[in-house]
Chains A and B, each alone.
Chain A
Amino acid sequence: MDCEPVLLAHVGRPDSHTLSGYEAAGGYTTLRQTLRDATPQKIVDVVKESALRGRGGAGFPCGLKWTFLPQNHPGPIYMCINADESEPGTFNNRILMEEDPHQVLEGTILSCYATRASTAYIYLRYEYPQCLKRLQAAIDACYDAGYLGKNILGSDYSLEVTIHRGAAAYICGEETGLIESLEGKRAWPRIKPPFPAVEGLFRKPTVVNNVETVACVRHIVQRGAAWFKSIGVPPDPDNPRDIGSFGPKLYCLSGHVERPGCYEAPLGISCRELIERFGGGVWKGRRAKAAIPGGISMGLLTAAELDVPLDFVGPVKAGCLGLGTAAVVVLDETVRMVDFLHNSCRFFKHESCGQCTPCREGTDWALQMLERIRAGRGRLIDLDLLLEIGDSIGIMPGTTICGLADGAAWPIKNAIRKFRDEFEHTIRATNPHGYMATDPVPALEMHALQH
C-alpha cells in the first residue's frame, strides 16, 4: 500500500514551520476560498461525507461529533485541540506541530468555522517545548497576517486561538479531563451525559478534536471527500456499524526496529508491512515477539498476528482494544513479557487519576502483583487475579467513568491470554517452591515497592 504523503508533505523542509514557507506551498488558500465561498454547513457536510474518524484514539466519526452541537446556539462555542499527546510510543502530533504548525492551524480555523466556534484552545502537552515555541510563533504570525483575530481575511468570522500548556498528566488527554484541566480544576474526567458537545468547557458547547484530525480536515476541505475516501479501507459489509477507515494516517513506529520514526501510510497497512518496509525490519536481525498496535493501552499483537491491517477494526479482530493512536511498538524475542506487563502496569498505576475506585485500586494491585512475580514470589493464581482485574475495570464493563482503565486492562488481558505459557513458565522457574500456593500472601516490604 502506498500513497503520496499529504500530512507530512512539507516535513523536512527547512522553512516548513514558517508562514512564508507554508504560504509558498499553497497554504491558507483553502481557508481563503472557504471563507469567501462556503458556508459552515458545507464544511460539516464534506467532513461527514469523508467519513473522517478521530485520530486521537477512539476513532469517533468527526463529522458526526460536530453535528451533536446544539443548533442555533447563541454561543460561545468552544473548540479544544487535544495536543496532550501522552500515549506511550506516540509522537505524530509532535511532528505536525513542530514541523508544520500552520497546517494544524489552518485545519483548526476551518474546523472552528464549521462548528461556529469563537475560541479555540490548544491543550499542549507540557513535555513539548519546541511545539510550544513553533506553534506560538505560528499563531502570532497568523494574527499579524489576518488569518486569526477579528474578521478573518475580511469575512465576518472571528476566531481567537490560545495555547494552554498542560502539567504533564496522561489523564488530561481524556476529553473531559482536558476540559476540567482547562478550567483550572483537577483533571478528573466528567460523568456523561452531558457530553461536551452540549455542555463542555465553561458549561458551553465544546468540540474536542485531535491535532491530526484537524490537519486531515484541512486536506479534506481542499481536496474533497472523494479524494479522502480513495485512500484506506472501505467499511466491512458484514458490520453495519463500521463506517470504514479512510484517509492517510501517521504511524509512529518505535521499539526494536532498525528505523523508528513517524511514517505516513494509508489506513489499513499491515503491521508487518509497516515494520518491514518503513522500519527496516526488527533490529539486530532478531525476530519480533509481539507488537503494540496503537499505543500501549491497545494491547498486544503476537508475532503471528502481525498481518492484521492497522485500521480501526483490524486490531479489534485480533483481540486488541482498537487502533488507538497508531503508535506501533515492536518487541523483539528477547523481551520478557513479565517485564513488559510490569512496565505497562507501572505507567497506568502512575497515571490513574484516582477518581473511580476500581481503576485507582485495581491498577495499583496489578502492579503490586507483578512486582511480586518479578521478585520471584509469583503464584500461578496471580495470573487469574490479574485477569479478573483486567476484565472488571473500564468503561466497557461499566465500572469506571473514563477509558483509562480500559487502557490499563487491555495489556494485562492480552499479555496473559496470548503469552500465558511464558508467564507460567516464568513463575514456575522463579518460584519453584511456591508457585502452586493459593493462600493470601504476606505483603512485600514497603521499601521493596518504592521506585
Chain B
Amino acid sequence: MAVALVNGVEVELDSHEKLNGIQVAARLGIEIPHYCWHPGLSVVASCRMCLVETGTRDPDTGEISMVPKLVPACQTPARDGTVFVTNSDKVRQARAMVEEDLLIHHPIDCPICDKAGECLLQDYHFKHGQGQRRADIRPFTSRRRPMGDTVTLFVDRCVMCSRCVRFTREITGTSELMVVNRGSHEEIDVFPGYPLANRLSGNVVDLCPVGALGDRHFLYRQRVWFMTSHAGICTGCSTGCSIWIDENQDRVYRLKPRTNPHVNQWWMCDDGRYGFDYIHNAERQTRRRVREKDGQHVELEGSELPDRLTRDLKSAGRLAAVLSPHMTVEAAYLLTQFIRQFDPQAMLAMGPVPVVGADETFPNGFCIHAEKCPNRRGVEEVLAHAMGRIVTWDELTEAVASRSFDGVWIAGGYPSPWIDETSARTFDDVGLLIVQDVFDSPLWRRADYQLPGGAFAEQEGSYVNVADRIQSVSWAIRPPAGVETEVRLLWRLLERPGLCRVRDVLHEVAVEIPYFHEAVHEIPPTGLDLKTAMLAASMD
C-alpha cells in the first residue's frame, strides 16, 4: 500500500490509483485551489494557482527531503512517499500572487456577472487573495461577443485557463475554440465563419471557472444564489445523464451535468441542457376532465376521480394499457397493478419509442442516443414480467382496430407531439378511453378521462438507461396546480395508505421482478448497473 503525506497526514493510495496532488489532498478534505486543471481534461499546469511544496519521504529512514521550488499540484503525481505541503507561508504567498495577477486586468464586474456566487475567482479571492489592489493598471471592461448560438464570451473576464479550448479539442474533437494573440493580450476566440457549434457546446460554460463564458439560454435570467440545485436525470434520451436541476420557486432555470463516471462523466449535451422549456409551456394540460354523456368535457375534482374511474373501469370489460417509455419504473409498475385489478387478462403494451436521427458518439465516448426517452429498458422489463413478452404499440393499435378492448388507458408524457389524427382515430370505437398526457393531442381530445400528467423535473422515481443502469431521483419542482404526477395518482387510485412513497414501490418491484432485484439495496447517486448485478447473481 502506497502512502502519501499531505500536510503531515498520511493518505493511503491503492496501487492502481493515479492521483495528483489536488486529488490526494481532496481525500483529506483539503482544497488546493486551481483553475486550469479539470479531471476530464489534459493537464497544462498554466494557471499556477495550485502551487504547493513537495518532497519525498525516504522509505527506510523516514527522512523527508523537500524540493526547493514550488510545483503545481495538478502536475505532481502522488506516489509512495510523496509529500505535499499546502499551507506553508511560501504556498500562501504564491497563491496570493496568482490571485492578484489574475485580477489585474479583470473588470471586476461581479454585480452584472452571471457567474457571481459560483465563481472560483471570487471564492479564491476571499480565501487566498490580498485585501488591497496594488496594481496601477486600469482594468478592462466587459467586452462581449458570441461564440455561437449557445455561448457568449465576456472577453475580459477570462483568466486564460484554456479549459474550454481543451474541451473542444479533446472531448468533442471539433476544435472551434482557440487562443488568439499573445501575452496579456490573449483572448479566446473562434475562427471567422466557424462558430462554436457542436452538440456539447454548453459544457464550456460549466468548465469556465469564471464568468467569461456565458450561457445565452440562461444569461441574466436568475442569480445563482436564488436557485436550489436538485439531483436529477436528464430525460432527453436513453443515455440518462446525471444532472443538477437548478430551480427557484418551482421554475427551472438551467440544467447542469452532475458528475457520474458511469454515465456522462462531467458532461451533458445541448439537446438535454436546453430541452426543458416545455415544462413551463403555457399550453400544458392542467385540468382533470371527464366527458359527460352530452359529449362535453367537464372538470372533475380530484376527490371525485377514484370512485367514478373505478366504477367505469369495473363495468368496461376487456382492458388494455399503454405504458410510455417516459414513465418511471414505479409508475409503470403501479399502472400494471391498477389495470390488472379490473381485468387480470388486460393487455399491457409499450407506447411509441421516439427515435430521432442516429446515435452520435464523441471521441471521448460520450454518446447522444437517437432514442429520445429515458426509460424504455425499465418499462420493457415491467411489461415483460407482466405479459411474458413485450407488446408493441403497433400490435396494440391493430388489436384496438379489431375491437378487442372495451377500455384503454394510455400514458403519454412525451415532450413533443407524438400521435397524429389518423392513429388517434383508431381509438374512436373504444368505449372507455383514459389518456394521461402533458399536452393536447388528437388522442387527448377523444379521451373520456383527460388526466394531466407530470413532466420532467416533477417526476420522482427511477429510470433505467440504455446500458441497464438504474438511477433514482426525487422531484425538483412541484407540478402546476391541477396536475398530479402519474405515480401519485396511481398510488391514490390503488388506495394505498398515506402519502405516496416511491421508494417502497421500487422495493416491491425489486422483490417481484428478478431484473430489478439489485434495487432492494440503496441506489447510489450514480446509479446501479442492473445487468451486471443480474449476471453476477446468476453466476452464484
A429: chain B residues within 8 A (beta carbon) = none
In contact, A361 and B46 (Cβ under 8 angstroms): no
In contact, B69 and A358 (Cβ under 8 angstroms): no
In contact, A354 and B101 (Cβ under 8 angstroms): no
Known A-B contacts A360-B183, A361-B102, A399-B94; A354 and B70 likewise in contact (beta carbons under 8 Å): no
B133 contacts partner chain A, Cβ-Cβ < 8 Å: yes
B221 contacts partner chain A, Cβ-Cβ < 8 Å: no
Residue among B43, B71, B138, B183 having the largest count of chain A Cβ atoms under 10 Å: B183
Cβ of B393 to closest chain A Cβ, rounded Å:
52
In contact, A444 and B104 (Cβ under 8 angstroms): no
Cβ of A180 to closest chain B Cβ, rounded Å:
12
In contact, B182 and A357 (Cβ under 8 angstroms): no
B102: chain A residues within 8 A (beta carbon) = 357, 361
| Stretch touching chain B among A62-70, A417-425, A435-443 | A435-443
| Stretch touching chain B among A129-137, A306-314, A319-327, A390-398 | A390-398
Partner of A357 from the list B98, B132, B185 (CB cut-off 8 Å) is: B98
A107 contacts partner chain B, Cβ-Cβ < 8 Å: no
What CA separation (Å) do A98 and B174 show in the bound complex? Answer: 43
| Stretch touching chain B among A3-11, A73-81, A365-373 | A365-373
A349: chain B residues within 8 A (beta carbon) = 183-184
10 closest A-B pairs by beta carbon, nearest first, are A398-B69, A443-B138, A398-B70, A361-B101, A364-B184, A352-B183, A354-B186, A354-B183, A355-B46, A441-B136
Partner of B133 from the list A361, A369, A440, A444 (CB cut-off 8 Å) is: A440
Cβ of B16 to closest chain A Cβ, rounded Å:
21
What CA separation (Å) do A446 and B51 show in the bound complex? Answer: 33
What CA separation (Å) do A399 and B71 show in the bound complex? Answer: 7
Known A-B contacts A362-B101, A399-B70; A191 and B44 likewise in contact (beta carbons under 8 Å): yes
A356 contacts partner chain B, Cβ-Cβ < 8 Å: yes
B133: chain A residues within 8 A (beta carbon) = 440
A203 contacts partner chain B, Cβ-Cβ < 8 Å: no
Within 8 A of B (CB), among A125-160: none
In contact, B134 and A385 (Cβ under 8 angstroms): yes
B256 contacts partner chain A, Cβ-Cβ < 8 Å: no
B183: chain A residues within 8 A (beta carbon) = 349-354, 360, 363-364
B179: chain A residues within 8 A (beta carbon) = 186, 354
What CA separation (Å) do A292 and B435 show in the bound complex? Answer: 87
Residue among B70, B133, B184, B186 having the largest count of chain A Cβ atoms under 10 Å: B184
What CA separation (Å) do A198 and B133 show in the bound complex? Answer: 44
A360: chain B residues within 8 A (beta carbon) = 101, 160, 183-184, 186
Interface pairs (7), CB distance under 8 Å? A350-B183, A354-B185, A361-B102, A368-B136, A399-B97, A401-B46, A443-B137
In contact, A397 and B160 (Cβ under 8 angstroms): no
B48 contacts partner chain A, Cβ-Cβ < 8 Å: yes
Cβ of B344 to closest chain A Cβ, rounded Å:
67
A361: chain B residues within 8 A (beta carbon) = 101-102, 104-105, 184
Cβ of A314 to closest chain B Cβ, rounded Å:
23
B49 contacts partner chain A, Cβ-Cβ < 8 Å: yes
Cβ of A431 to closest chain B Cβ, rounded Å:
13
In contact, A401 and B45 (Cβ under 8 angstroms): yes
B134: chain A residues within 8 A (beta carbon) = 385, 440
In contact, B184 and A191 (Cβ under 8 angstroms): no
In contact, B136 and A400 (Cβ under 8 angstroms): no
In contact, B44 and A397 (Cβ under 8 angstroms): no
A169 contacts partner chain B, Cβ-Cβ < 8 Å: yes
Within 8 A of A (CB), among B68-89: 69-72, 75
Cβ of A424 to closest chain B Cβ, rounded Å:
19
Cβ of B424 to closest chain A Cβ, rounded Å:
58
Q: B94's closest neighbor in chain A, by CB?
A: A399
B533 contacts partner chain A, Cβ-Cβ < 8 Å: no
Cβ of B461 to closest chain A Cβ, rounded Å:
47
What CA separation (Å) do A334 and B404 show in the bound complex? Answer: 107
Q: A189's closest neighbor in chain B, by CB?
A: B46
In contact, B48 and A352 (Cβ under 8 angstroms): no
Binary contact track B423-442/A, C-beta < 8 Å → 1, others 0: 00000000000000000000
In contact, A398 and B71 (Cβ under 8 angstroms): yes
Cβ of A85 to closest chain B Cβ, rounded Å:
19
B136: chain A residues within 8 A (beta carbon) = 368-369, 372, 440-444
Cβ of A22 to closest chain B Cβ, rounded Å:
39
Cβ of A385 to closest chain B Cβ, rounded Å:
6
Known A-B contacts A365-B104, A397-B69, A399-B97; A357 and B184 likewise in contact (beta carbons under 8 Å): no
Known A-B contacts A186-B179, A362-B101, A365-B101; A357 and B137 likewise in contact (beta carbons under 8 Å): no
Cβ of B318 to closest chain A Cβ, rounded Å:
69
Cβ of B261 to closest chain A Cβ, rounded Å:
25
B71: chain A residues within 8 A (beta carbon) = 398
Partner of B48 from the list A358, A372, A385 (CB cut-off 8 Å) is: A358
B94: chain A residues within 8 A (beta carbon) = 392, 397-399
B210 contacts partner chain A, Cβ-Cβ < 8 Å: no
What CA separation (Å) do A128 and B70 show in the bound complex? Answer: 38
B390 contacts partner chain A, Cβ-Cβ < 8 Å: no
Chain B contact patch, size range: 35 or more
Binary contact track B20-54/A, C-beta < 8 Å → 1, others 0: 00000000000000000000000111111101000
Partner of A356 from the list B43, B48, B181 (CB cut-off 8 Å) is: B48
A186: chain B residues within 8 A (beta carbon) = 179
Within 8 A of B (CB), among A157-207: 169, 186, 188, 191
B105: chain A residues within 8 A (beta carbon) = 361, 364
Binary contact track B132-170/A, C-beta < 8 Å → 1, others 0: 111111100000000000000000000110000000000
Known A-B contacts A169-B182, A368-B136, A399-B70; A357 and B44 likewise in contact (beta carbons under 8 Å): no
Cβ of A299 to closest chain B Cβ, rounded Å:
19
Q: B54's closest neighbor in chain A, by CB?
A: A398
Cβ of A166 to closest chain B Cβ, rounded Å:
14
Partner of A353 from the list B70, B72, B98, B182 (CB cut-off 8 Å) is: B182
Residue among B93, B97, B136 having the largest count of chain A Cβ atoms under 10 Å: B136
A191: chain B residues within 8 A (beta carbon) = 43-45, 72, 75
In contact, B51 and A398 (Cβ under 8 angstroms): yes
A191-B44, A352-B183 known, 16 other contacts, Cβ within 8 Å: A350-B183, A352-B182, A354-B160, A354-B179, A354-B185, A354-B186, A357-B47, A357-B159, A364-B184, A365-B135, A365-B137, A372-B136, A392-B94, A397-B69, A398-B70, A440-B132
Cβ of A365 to closest chain B Cβ, rounded Å:
5
B185: chain A residues within 8 A (beta carbon) = 354
Residue among A350, A358, A443 having the largest count of chain B Cβ atoms under 10 Å: A358
Known A-B contacts A362-B101, A365-B135; A354 and B182 likewise in contact (beta carbons under 8 Å): yes
A372: chain B residues within 8 A (beta carbon) = 136
Residue among A191, A349, A351, A440 having the largest count of chain B Cβ atoms under 10 Å: A191
What CA separation (Å) do A363 and B137 show in the bound complex? Answer: 12
B182: chain A residues within 8 A (beta carbon) = 169, 350-354
Cβ of B66 to closest chain A Cβ, rounded Å:
12
B45: chain A residues within 8 A (beta carbon) = 191, 401
Q: A369's closest neighbor in chain B, by CB?
A: B136
A444: chain B residues within 8 A (beta carbon) = 136, 138
Partner of A352 from the list B46, B159, B184 (CB cut-off 8 Å) is: B184
What CA separation (Å) do A444 and B44 show in the bound complex? Answer: 34
B72: chain A residues within 8 A (beta carbon) = 191
Cβ of B196 to closest chain A Cβ, rounded Å:
18
Binary contact track B159-202/A, C-beta < 8 Å → 1, others 0: 11000000000000000000101111110000000000000000
In contact, B101 and A358 (Cβ under 8 angstroms): yes
A445: chain B residues within 8 A (beta carbon) = 138
Within 8 A of B (CB), among A394-412: 395-401
Cβ of B172 to closest chain A Cβ, rounded Å:
18
A188: chain B residues within 8 A (beta carbon) = 44, 46
Partner of B98 from the list A354, A358, A365, A446 (CB cut-off 8 Å) is: A358
Q: A190's closest neighbor in chain B, by CB?
A: B44
Partner of B44 from the list A355, A363, A440, A441 (CB cut-off 8 Å) is: A355
Q: B103's closest neighbor in chain A, by CB?
A: A361
What CA separation (Å) do A23 and B146 show in the bound complex? Answer: 62
Known A-B contacts A352-B182, A360-B160; A368 and B70 likewise in contact (beta carbons under 8 Å): no
